Amino acid sequence: MTLESHENPGSEALTLFRELLRIDTTNPPGNERPAADALAKLFQREGIEFTIVEAAPGRASIVARLRGTGERGPLLLNGHLDVVPADREHWSHDPFGAVEADGCIWGRGAIDMKNMVAMSAMTLVSLKRSGARLARDVIFAGVADEEAGSNHGALFLVREHPELVRSEFVLNEVGGHTLHMGSTRFYPVQVSEKGICWFELVASGEPGHGSMPHPNNAVVKLARALEAIGSTRLPAHPTPVVDGFLRALARRAPFPQNRLLPLLLEPRLAGFLLDTLERSNPDQARGINAMLRNTVSPTILRAGRKVNVIPSEARAELDGRVLPGLGLGQFLAEVQDVIGRDLRLNVLEAHDGTLFDTETPLYDAMVRVVGRHDPDGVVVPYMIPGFTDSFAYARLGAICYGFSPVRLPADLNFTRMYHGHDERIPIDGFLWGFTVLSELVRDFCTSEG
Ligand SMILES: [Zn+2]
């Protein structure tokens, strides 16, 4: 029992959060070490055991652990320390100033995801101070490199130091925020992520002089394939999570969304409805489209070096996203149905999507704690079209949920905050999130027996 008096843990979490926002961990290059050191100082002071590992110089991840009795499997709280670049001239406040204005804290990482890092670290501190008996270990991981694919962060830990992060459950990002629809507040919990298939298309043709056009031009062949991909939706495969999510939204949505949302699950109507929605609410149209099918976005082009020479080869790189449960083979067959087989297709990098059960005591505990702090809020499982560190922890058999709680007002759009200009978090929403997360972890991990 310690006799020293502490501030209220919510305001301590807020102070830590602002300290982390002021540390520039823009990736590339990342340089997460100073952020890991700031967390190390806190754990050191509070007598919490921790380890710092570096996958490369400066690319630090920190893992801390509160030991339980081991009756049940560990819970891991994960947050990445790196952030995406911020374009200063488009920001109202310094993206690394942690400025307080209009009831919010502004800064790159305010939502993605130094908020969760600070809340999670302070959750361990509160638990440690309380002296609560834990039935499971509670692990904190503040990791490098999520924004560049996790190779120097969560994947490095999973490959090189699995004993530090092996756990039964993981709480991570992209869920637990307020999603307003009509007058209903939803709290989506991420239980599923799409996989990736990043690939290259190579068109070969006849080289020649630019003054003598011919029909076997590699650039033109590649352009035709890309045009076909850009103008075609791959087949719809509504997964049970997406089906359940859209129907849950529809049950509480106002007219006409309550009628339209379920129709998006009808493959014959979905295309027309998505085209219509793209004109009125493009964010929603793109989000729903990505949940319903595999997708491909051409992103990089390479061909030719001289304006008067027809090159013999043209290359494109494409970002493919694959629904969980659909194999790589099926995805590639869908792509080749659109572009034909004239071009060479090389897979550059691929991993499967994830899908986690909601019939777990942790999911039930999330529903209970949100119900306590927003009695009208509705918790609903959903899938994200991207991926997070969860795909790495899933390789060690963990059940991973995106639940980084924050209460947001209707006029603050969560998806726009992600990687957008003027990323910020309402102070009261942050404090609400800290209360929810720390209660959840306490309820789930303590045991009186
Ligand atoms: Zn993130």
pLDDT tens digit sequence for 34-45: 999 999 999 999
Ligand 1 centroid to Cα of residue 383, in Å, is 15
Question: Residue 35 C-alpha to ligand 1 middle, in angstroms?
Answer: 15
The first and second tokens of residue 115, run together, are 């908020």
Could you report the per-residue pLDDT of 3-62, keeping only the tens digit for each?
455 669 999 999 999 999 999 999 999 999 999 999 999 999 999 999 999 999 999 999
Ligand 1 centre to CA of 83 (Å) is: 7
Neighbour tally for 115: CB within 10 Å = 29
What pLDDT was estimated at residue 415? 79
Q: How far is the CA of 282 from the centre of ligand 1 (A)?
A: 22
pLDDT digits (tens, 9 = 90+) for 287-305: 999 999 999 999 999 999 9
Ligand 1 geometric centre to CA of 80 (Å):
7
Those residues with Cβ within 8 angstroms of residue 370's Cβ, 6 or more apart along the chain or in another chain = 176, 187, 377, 379, 405, 436
C-alpha of residue 182 to centroid of ligand 1, in Å: 27
| Pairing status of strand 295-303 against strand 208-209 | unpaired
Q: Report phi then psi at 16, rounded to 5.
A: -60, -45
* 374 confidence band (pLDDT: 50, 70, 90): very high
> Measured in angstroms, how far is the CA atom of residue 276 from the centroid of ligand 1?
30
What number is the average pLDDT over the span 257-261?
90
Indicate the DSSP class of residue 324.
T
For residue 164, report the distance from its CA to the centre of ligand 1, in Å. Answer: 21
Residue 448 has pLDDT above 70, yes or no: no
Say how many Å lie between the CA of residue 13 and the centre of ligand 1: 19
Q: From ligand 1's centre to the CA of 249, what distance in Å?
A: 24
Distance from C-alpha of 55 to C-alpha of 38, rounded to nearest angstrom: 18
Say whether pLDDT at 281 is over 90: no
CA of 146 to the centre of ligand 1 (A): 7
In angstroms, how far apart are the furthest CA atoms of the chain? 87
pLDDT, residue 413, reads 82
Mean pLDDT of 382-406: 97
CA proximity to 310, closest of 210, 211, 221: 210
**Ligand 1 centroid vs 52 CA: distance in angstroms?**
20
pLDDT tens for each residue of 91-111: 999 999 999 999 999 999 999
- Taken in order 291, 176, 51, 397, is the CA torsion positive or negative? negative
Task: Kindly give the distance from the C-alpha atom of residue 69 to the centroid of ligand 1, in angstroms, as a whole number.
Answer: 32
Q: How does DSSP assign 58-70, residue by residue?
A: T-EEEEEEE---S
CA of 38 to the centre of ligand 1 (A): 19
Instruction: Say whether pLDDT at 360 is over 60.
Output: yes
Separation of 145 CA from ligand 1 center, angstroms?
10
**Burial state string for 93-113 with b = 16 or more CB within 10 A and e = fewer than 16:** bebbebbeeeebbbbbbbbbb
* Confidence band of 449 (pLDDT split at 50, 70, 90): very low
Give the Å distance between the CA of 310 and the centre of ligand 1. 42
Residue 408: band (very low, low, confident or very high) from pLDDT cuts 50, 70, 90: very high
Question: Separation of 429 CA from ligand 1 center, angstroms?
Answer: 18
pTM metric for this prediction: 0.92
CB 67 within 8 A of CB 162: no
Q: Which amino acid is at 225?
A: A
Per-residue pLDDT reduced to its tens digit, 125-162: 999 999 999 999 999 999 999 999 899 999 999 999 99
Q: Which residues contact 170 (CB under 8 A, 6 or more apart)?
A: 75, 76, 77, 78, 390, 393, 398, 399, 400, 401
Question: What distance in Å separates the CA atoms of residue 237 and residue 235, rounded to the nearest whole number?
Answer: 7
* Separation in Å, CA 422 to CA 78, 88, 116, 428: 24, 9, 18, 18
Tokens of 184: 């209903």
Q: What would the pLDDT profile of 324-346 be if each residue is shown by its tens digit?
A: 999 999 999 999 999 999 999 99
**Distance from Cα 255 to the centre of ligand 1, integer Å:** 33
Which letter does DSSP use for residue 423 in this model?
-
Span from the CA of 84 to the centroid of ligand 1 (angstroms):
9
CA of residue 388 to ligand 1 center, whole Å: 7
Contacts of 83 (CB under 8 A, 6+ apart): 25, 26, 27, 108, 109, 112, 114, 147
Residues with beta carbon < 5 A to ion ligand 1? 112-113, 173
Beta strands in 112-265 (DSSP E): 138-143, 169-172, 179-181, 184-193, 195-204, 208-209
- Tell me the C-alpha distance between 307 and 434, whole Å: 58
Residue 5: what pLDDT? 53
pLDDT of residue 6: 63
Q: How many helices (H) and strands (E) does the chain have?
A: 15, 19
| Average pLDDT, rounded, for the chain | 95
State residue 182's pLDDT score: 86
Whole-number Å distance, alpha carbon 400 to ligand 1 midpoint, is 15
How many whole angstroms from 172 Cα to the centroid of ligand 1? 9
Residue 1 binned pLDDT confidence (cut-offs 50, 70, 90): very low
CB atoms within 10 A of CB 363: 20
